[in-house]
Amino acid sequence: MEFDGFVFEFISTVEMLDSASVLERRLVDPQASHRRWYRKLPASVKAKHSRGRAAAFLRKVASAYEEQLPDLITTPTPVPQGHGIGPISAAEIRL
């Protein structure tokens, strides 16, 4: 997910929602601020006004993904042959 030029990468909607809950906090506690994903954020995204907007966008994307998940599951995924890599899938979420 891209927000204000910064790309967030998540493995699940649970991780997206957990990140949104951290970003929504008025003050980010030391335990949360030491998370790897939070440390990698640029200062512009760590600002309170940006964190609130990013959290709202994360929740919107997670909701849209969960709504579209049944359609994404039935979409055929190409399986590379002979590369030793498992199936790769990319999905475009409609907001």
Q: Compute the average pLDDT of residues 67-90.
A: 62
pLDDT per residue over 22-33, tens digit each? Answer: 999 988 888 888
> What is the percentage of the chain residues whose pLDDT exceeds 90?
18
Residues 46 and 19 sit within 8 Å (Cβ to Cβ): no
Residue 60 has pLDDT above 70, yes or no: yes
Confidence of residue 88 (pLDDT cuts 50, 70, 90): very low
CB-based contacts of 95: which residues, under 8 Å, 6+ apart?
Answer: 60, 61, 64
Structure tokens that stand for 4 in this block: 């204000």
Q: Report the predicted TM-score, pTM, of the whole model to 2 decimal places.
A: 0.69
